[in-house]
Amino acid sequence: MPSSGIRFFDGRRILAASTHVDIDNGVVESAGTSFSDSALVRVLGPHGWGMVSANSLDISPGKDMDRVLAEGLALARITGDPVTLAEPTRGEHAVPAPGEDPRGLDLEDKTRVLSGIEKAAKLPGIASTRATYIERTEEVFYTDSSGYESRFTITRSGFSVLAVAKRNGMAQMGRESLHTIHGFNLRHQEPMGVKAGETALALLDAGTAKGGRMRAVLDPELAGVFAHEAVGHASEGDLVKEGSSVLAGRIGERIGPAILTIVDDPSLPEFGFEPVDAEGCLTARTEIIRKGMVNAYLHDRETLAALGNGVTGHGRAEAGEPPLVRMSNTFIEAGDRSTEEILAECRDGILLVGSRGGQVDPGRGVFQFNAEYGYLIEKGEKGSMVRDVSLSGEILSTLHGILLCGKERVMHQGFCGKGGQSVPVSDGSPHILLSDAVVGGSGTD
């Protein structure tokens, strides 16, 4: 091994098989399986990292690996950032056994069941339907210069269904999706197709919301996106270390009400589950906000050494890509209020339902996300439906404006992008009430 100048190295290789089915208006557009074999070797030189990414790379000790380490060291020599690593916490959680293992089903079965969900969305008035299935099995092998090794295999799968309703030149869509690590989840899900169709049809008759500042109730899905976008990203140790997070330097500071606890937990068997992180560290729960106070940041080994306040285990990476500090399963802990109490307390405002995704600038502390639809709240009761409503705001003032948390937390699955890498995540929350939300809508009155 060309060890001179190498302080640490590790390698992570992932063999993956990805299956997809795409059914569009009853036509099987494509269905099939693809394969990849990607590895990344990281070498910590005298200062910073040199990394080598390649396909079909053997990362076990030997001549090939020696060559890669020498290459990594040469790359590391142009760096000047004094990187140090915290001691890893070793160990791993067992990958939950799948209910019905999708790997054991043939593609024809999957296509047939998906087709049933797509057909269910085709209600009278629906102009277009589409359903997609994705399944990815990863065999992950990790090794590092201490001799530590870990291996696991995990399959993630799920589906989405889209319906578009049209009338008089107006088009609206409804979309439902469900992803899991617990096995094939398409059976008996035709009601989700129906729901996508019903939403699209209902939105044809929905009005537009008048934008402005108002009280808003977020449903569990959108409140989960809020936890992810507004708090989760800003708690990522790399952003905190770079100085591009509004949560930097605020450990112990009160930034929200005492009812507010926000957690990221990669060890939870939800869609963002990781048995061990991309640096071979045991994954564990981090309470980012505990009872309204900033409690900890999310960390990999490098950011924990630099900042403290938290645990390792939040390094995640796509195959062949470097670990980044990432969220996994992020949620607001349940409170004690019923949904009726929350609507009553809101009095006049808006209920925002579902999510079309969101984005945040954690340095500026500004976030934006879009609900799938909403309902006006009038005199404490759910009123008429509105379409295309969004929410934006400043992280710190919005957190202070959380008034109530509901009793029941629900998780939703998705994918989160950062640094060009996409990883599976889940977000969740009970219903929450915000006192002063900036709601966007195209209605003028």
Partner 1 sequence: MYLVEGTGVSAELKRDAVAMATGSRDWGLSIRTIDHGRIGVSSTSSPEKWEECLGAAVASMSLATPQEWKGLPGPAELRRDAPSFDDRVIPEPQAAQDFLRGMLDGAKGHPGAKITSGSGSLSRSEVTLANSHGVLYTTRRTEVSCSLETISGQSTGSEFAHSPFLEIDPRWVGERAAFFATHSAEGRPMETGQYDILLSPVALAQFLGNIFVPALSGRTVHAGRSRLGTLLGQEIMDRRISLFDDPFARGMGATAWDAEGMPAARLDFVKAGVLASFAYDLKTAYRYGASPTASAVRGGPAGGPSIGVHNLVLDGPREEIASERALYVHDVVGAHTANPVSGDFSVECQNPIWVEDGGFREPVRKAMLSGNLFDAVREIGGIGAGSRIVGNSILPCVRFRSLQVIG
Restricting to residues 200-219, name those near partner 1 by CB under 8 A: 211-212
Burial of 11 (0-12, 13-18, 19+ CB in 10 A): buried
DSSP symbols for 380-412: TEEEEEEES-EEEEEHHHHHHTEEEEBS--EEE
DSSP symbols for 159-184: EEEEEEEEETTEEEEEEEEEEESSS-
What dihedral do alpha carbons 256, 260, 264, 269 form, nearest 10°? -170
Which residue of 87, 100, 101, 108 would you call a contact of partner 1, by CB under 8 A? 108
Amino acid in position 395: I
Q: Closest distance between partner 1 and the C-beta of residue 105, in Å?
A: 13
Q: Closest distance between partner 1 and the C-beta of residue 12, in Å?
A: 14
Nearer to partner 1, 236 or 333 (CB): 236
Q: Is 363 in the site for partner 1 (CB under 8 A)?
A: yes
- Positions 267 through 286 that interact with partner 1 (CB under 8 A): none
* Residue 38 · residue 150 · CB < 8 Å: no
- Positions 222 through 241 that interact with partner 1 (CB under 8 A): 238-239, 241
Q: Is 170 in the site for partner 1 (CB under 8 A)?
A: yes
Q: Is 18 in the site for partner 1 (CB under 8 A)?
A: yes
Amino acid in position 238: D
Q: Is 64 in the site for partner 1 (CB under 8 A)?
A: no
3-state DSSP of 240-281? HHHCCCCCCCCCCCECCCCCCCEEECCCCCCCCCCCECCCCC
Q: Is 149 in the site for partner 1 (CB under 8 A)?
A: no
Which residue of 259, 389, 405, 411 would you call a contact of partner 1, by CB under 8 A? 389
- Positions 125 through 144 that interact with partner 1 (CB under 8 A): 127-128, 130, 134
Q: Closest distance between partner 1 and the C-beta of residue 82, in Å?
A: 8
Q: Determine the Cα–Cα distance for residues 32 and 385; give it in Å rounded to an integer.
A: 40
Nearer to partner 1, 68 or 432 (CB): 68
Number of residues that bind partner 1 (CB under 8 A): 88
Q: Determine the Cα–Cα distance for residues 151 and 144; give it in Å rounded to an integer.
A: 12
Q: Is 370 in the site for partner 1 (CB under 8 A)?
A: yes
Angle between helices 107-120 and 190-204 (to 10 degrees): 30
Amino acid in position 42: R
Q: What is the edge-to-edge ordering of all strands in the sheet holding 293-294?
A: 293-294, 286-290, 262-264, 329-332, 421-429, 410-418
Which residue of 66, 87, 242, 348 would you call a contact of partner 1, by CB under 8 A? 242
Q: Is 74 in the site for partner 1 (CB under 8 A)?
A: yes
Annotate 88-126 with b (16+ C-beta within 10 A) or e (fewer): bbeebbebeebeeebeebeeeebbebbbebbebbbbeeb
* Residue 243 · residue 236 · CB < 8 Å: no
Q: Is 339 in the site for partner 1 (CB under 8 A)?
A: no
Nearer to partner 1, 356 or 382 (CB): 356
* Piece of the chain touching partner 1 by CB under 8 A; list 143-151, 281-289, 385-393, 425-433: 385-393
Nearer to partner 1, 92 or 135 (CB): 135
Which residue of 29, 336, 348, 408 would you call a contact of partner 1, by CB under 8 A? 29
User: How many Cβ atoms sit within 10 Å of the Cβ of residue 296?
Assistant: 21
In the block, residue with structure tokens 């307390």: 345
Q: Determine the Cα–Cα distance for residues 61 and 145; give it in Å rounded to an integer.
A: 10
* Piece of the chain touching partner 1 by CB under 8 A; list 162-170, 215-223, 265-273, 290-298: 162-170
In the block, residue with structure tokens 């008996």: 188
Q: Both tokens of residue 335?
A: 């409170």
Nearer to partner 1, 338 or 359 (CB): 359
Q: Is 369 in the site for partner 1 (CB under 8 A)?
A: yes
CB neighbours of 359 closer than 8 A, spacing ≥ 6?
Answer: 229, 367, 368, 369
Q: Is 392 in the site for partner 1 (CB under 8 A)?
A: yes
* Piece of the chain touching partner 1 by CB under 8 A; list 92-100, 287-295, 339-347, 360-368: 360-368
Which residue of 3, 28, 61, 340 would you call a contact of partner 1, by CB under 8 A? 28
Q: Is 71 in the site for partner 1 (CB under 8 A)?
A: yes
Nearer to partner 1, 23 or 332 (CB): 23
The DSSP symbol for 284 reads: -
Nearer to partner 1, 54 or 95 (CB): 54
- Positions 295 through 334 that interact with partner 1 (CB under 8 A): 320, 322
Per-residue interface string for the shown chain with partner 1, residues 404-443, x marking contact by CB under 8 A: ----------------------------------x-xxx-
Which residue of 358, 374, 428, 430 would you call a contact of partner 1, by CB under 8 A? 358
Q: Determine the Cα–Cα distance for residues 374 and 353; give it in Å rounded to an integer.
A: 5
Nearer to partner 1, 335 or 365 (CB): 365
Angle at 116 between CA 111 and CA 117, to 5 degrees: 100
